[in-house]
Structure 1
Amino acid sequence: MATEAQASGGYRDILRAPHALRLLTGTLVGRLPNGTGPIATVVFTRAEGGSYSLAGGLVAAYGVATAVGQPLLGRAVDLKGQPRVQLPAAVLSALGMAALAVAGIGNIALAYAAIVVAGLFTPPLEGGLRALWPSVLGREDRVHRAYALDAVAQEVMFTVGPLLVTLLVAVWSPAAALLVINVLGVLGALSVVLSEPSRAWRSEPREAHWLGALRSPGLLALLGSFFFVGLALGSITVAGLAYADDRGHAAAYGWIMAAVGLGALVGGVLYGARHWSGSPEKRLTVIVGLLALGYVPLMLTPGVVPMTALAALAGVFLAPALACGFIVVDRHAPTGTVTEAFSWLVTTFGVGAALGSAVAGPVVELAGITAGFSVAAAGGLTALLVLLATGRALAAPGRSVRHAVSDVGGHAGHTEKNTHSSENDRNGAAQPGFSSGHQA
């Protein structure tokens, strides 16, 4: 049984690797605009006298634009490298938000155009970081632990980010909050792309195919499952608010959502504390099953204190599911498409969350709070069913990641090459649609 001391020791080992702390920190700071964009936009719109409908419309436009832009920019990164895509995208995204902050909402068309630009050019830093881990960390077990650390760090960002927006609004103004957050985002992206691993990273040559990463059946299966995980989480954000309103306890909403994040933090730390053997695809199915099971007790809607505890339980298997999902993405992404593949995961998860929020609202109004939380339970169960139904596709990854690490010119950089999985070696052939090498 892994202990907390083992977990912290393992994470320290990751962060002590050359460039690792800089890349993780730069990526988190660079993603602040995306993580805080919706709440900052709502606060700004309301401060400018806009309606909730306008605020919701702008946030929806931002979400759709981000969903469209991520895989396209991810593919561009795989083709052109990280610095030539990530930094220009970060600057353009920041300029879009700056245009909204300066021009305000007096011209609705301009406001929508500005926020669409901001979303469309959101740099795929998340996928880019996961593509860099093998070259930075070398050993496969360290890369897998880094995926767990990555999932935990996301929960920290989504907790700290809104607090930072609140502080900036209180100290300056909603417009200043938009500007500062996006300046920080550009600085974070700059820190990443100026690092040696980012400048040196190159994707393996890819097979020309219009579907890109989506030609992998296993990746499609994973994306289908995580769409419903996102749907479950999105529904909790609405059902939780309805629960707090019904109890006449406004602070309960913050407690519930913070508890989900805390549960994910604890789960991610414990998951990354130990070395896992066996197929990650089978492990993911078990974890998603436990995640789905954790959503069911929310339908009991007890008092605020036990409800907060149930929310923490519901979050425990979220970060492990993400961390294990990252491994599966890496194993199933076709050669030369790793950044695009990770970007598709971000997009699919986000679209599912948006749909979950949209569905839960009418369900709560028509059938009550318990029914609202049942959307989360249904989403988790469907995510599990997708994995069970696509087991054959998931059981045949294109490759298993192995890392051959060497010093580059006496510096701290690394190179790595991925080879076929042992299963493919035994069969004497690769899975269809994959070539012999893959750099992630």
Structure 2
Amino acid sequence: MSALTSSRPSPARRPSYAAVLRVPHARRTFLAALAARLSYGTVSLSVLLSVTRATGSYAVSGLVMALFGGTVVVLLPVRATLVDRYGPRRALPPLAAAYSALLCLLAALTRHPGAPPAALATAAALTGCVAPPLGPTMRAVWGRLADDPALLRRAYSLDGVAEELLFVSGPALVGLLLRFGPPPAGLLLSAVLMLAGTCAFVRSPAVRGAVPPKREKGEKREKGPSTGRFPAVPVVAAAGLGLALSAADLLVMAFAEQRSYGDGLVPWVLAALSAGSAVGGLLNGAVEWRRPAGERLVWLSAGLGAALVVAGLAPGMWTLAGAMAVAGVFVAPTLTTAYLLADETAAEGERTRAGAWVNAAVNAGSSGGSVAAGVVVGAVPLGVCFVLSGGVAVVSAVGVRVVSRLRAGGGWSRPCGGSRTSDTAPRP
């Protein structure tokens, strides 16, 4: 067994989260990846503030953000395929360098008022096109670092909770930076984090050992669609999660406005949702699950839906915060289980892309949910809106069950954490 996977824990002892970080090279690799991924926590607010300040137009800011977010999401599987095909050490540094250079260009364009909207939109769209798929790549590396099922589940849970914290701390870091410099400074910070973090990440021995599948001399690379299996079950669950949660964010603000609470309590309610997600993620990694991952996804999605429906019955803001905290308990476990299922059902050499599909699904769902909620809120009673939001999650649970049975020929996909060489999961 290689040095990267020699830390298989004893069956008599459940591995802890500390054991995850004691795996050879895990701490160094994970911290480098988090530094680079923090760029995604700081960049959105930095782009929004910089473009708004430079143009004085919220419409232009919205367009720029839509182009940036759209290209990030739509092309994520393509960029992940590059990582699978050429390996992280060859694919990630050029992407990170291009991404950072374009952020610096955007910072230069927004340095002074009067920036041309077309130039800003073009720069933002190109930046999104080359955003490195660091989350999917790190999860694929976890699969090589921790080959014990229980240890891998804890690694994914730890990764998910850390990612949640990055998107909470990123805007706070930008807010602190604004006390000392203009909004474009946040873009420069995002560029530095991405380039430095990615360089440190690819220099890790764990990443140096991640190489694309070897081909025989003279063998041509296949063209056309990949032979890998599309991760339909986890993608359905992730899309439902994104749709339900993005709608819930808007519903919380509408709840506060209708009851004249003002905006001051809204961040606390959303923080309760994030806190519940962190707790749920840690608990999910600590439990020895006996049910298959596909079946767990059904119950997790249904649980999220039920919690959101109950949240609509809250009589006040603090009660709503408690209900949203309960809903949050289902969030990180749903996403973590979706990532695990995508990884273990992916063909060898296509795990990064499989995880990227899940990532793209949750982000696409978030965008669609925000649009749909914006149309529905105000047109129907708020309690009905909460029911619709929870109903989306329940429908995704039904979709997971149906797709799982269709893909498995009437049975569930194999249990999460099973052997990667098992023949029970169809391979192309």
Q: TM-score, normalised by structure 1?
A: 0.86
Q: Residues of 1 paired with 2:388 and 2:250: CA distance? A: 10
Aligned residues: 404
What is the aligned counterpart of 1:102 among 77, 101, 108? Answer: 108
The correspondence of residues 163-242 of structure 1 with structure 2, limited to 5 A, is 163-204=172-213, 208=222, 210-212=224-226, 216=229, 219-242=231-254
> How far is 1:49 from its partner?
4.2
2:163 maps to 154
Structure 1 contact 266–316 (Cα < 8 Å) conserved: yes
> How far is 1:19 from its partner?
1.6
Which one-letter code corresponds to 1:328 in the other structure? Answer: L
What is the aligned counterpart of 1:35 among 35, 38, 41? Answer: 41
Structure 1 contact 134–140 (Cα < 8 Å) conserved: no
> How far is 1:401 from its partner?
6.1
1:364 maps to 377
> CA 1:260–1:401 in structure 2 vs 1: closer, same or farther (change >3 Å)?
closer
What is the aligned counterpart of 2:401 among 388, 394, 401? Answer: 388
1:406 maps to none
> CA 1:77–1:241 in structure 2 vs 1: closer, same or farther (change >3 Å)?
same
1:322 maps to 335
* More displaced stretch, 171-180 vs 394-403: 394-403
> How far is 1:243 from its partner?
2.4
Structure 2 contact 153–417 (Cα < 8 Å) conserved: no
2:10 maps to none
1:3 maps to none
> CA 1:388–1:122 in structure 2 vs 1: closer, same or farther (change >3 Å)?
same
What is the aligned counterpart of 2:140 among 128, 131, 134? Answer: 131
Structure 1 contact 267–320 (Cα < 8 Å) conserved: yes
> How far is 1:22 from its partner?
2.0
> How far is 1:241 from its partner?
2.2
Is 1:44–2:50 an aligned residue pair?
A: yes
Q: Residues of 1 paired with 2:416 and 2:325: CA distance? A: 33
Q: Residues of 2 paired with 1:241 and 1:61: CA distance? A: 25
Structure 1 contact 33–185 (Cα < 8 Å) conserved: yes
Q: Which structure 1 residue ranges, 5 or more long, are not aligned?
A: 1-6, 404-417, 425-430, 435-440
Is 1:284–2:297 an aligned residue pair?
A: yes
> CA 1:178–1:34 in structure 2 vs 1: closer, same or farther (change >3 Å)?
same
Q: Residues of 2 paired with 1:297 and 1:36: CA distance? A: 33
The alignment's C-alpha RMSD in Å is 2.4
Structure 2 contact 137–352 (Cα < 8 Å) conserved: yes
Structure 2 contact 73–360 (Cα < 8 Å) conserved: yes
Is 1:353–2:359 an aligned residue pair?
A: no
Q: Residues of 2 paired with 1:390 and 1:69: CA distance? A: 24
SS of corresponding position for 2:282: helix
Structure 2 contact 232–403 (Cα < 8 Å) conserved: no
Structure 1 contact 78–339 (Cα < 8 Å) conserved: yes
1:53 maps to 59
> How far is 1:398 from its partner?
8.6
**What per-residue deviation string (whole Å, max 9, x for no partner) do you get for residues 42-88 of structure 1?**
22222224322221111111111001221111001111000111121
> How far is 1:335 from its partner?
3.0
**What per-residue deviation string (whole Å, max 9, x for no partner) do you get for residues 215-271 of structure 1?**
526x12321231121111111222222223333421222111111100000111111
Structure 1 contact 96–118 (Cα < 8 Å) conserved: yes
Q: TM-score, normalised by structure 2?
A: 0.88
Is 1:245–2:257 an aligned residue pair?
A: yes
SS of corresponding position for 1:173: coil
Structure 1 contact 139–402 (Cα < 8 Å) conserved: no
Q: Quote the sequence identity (%).
A: 27
SS of corresponding position for 1:44: helix
1:78 maps to 84
> How far is 1:368 from its partner?
4.5
Structure 2 contact 293–414 (Cα < 8 Å) conserved: no
> CA 1:270–1:90 in structure 2 vs 1: closer, same or farther (change >3 Å)?
same
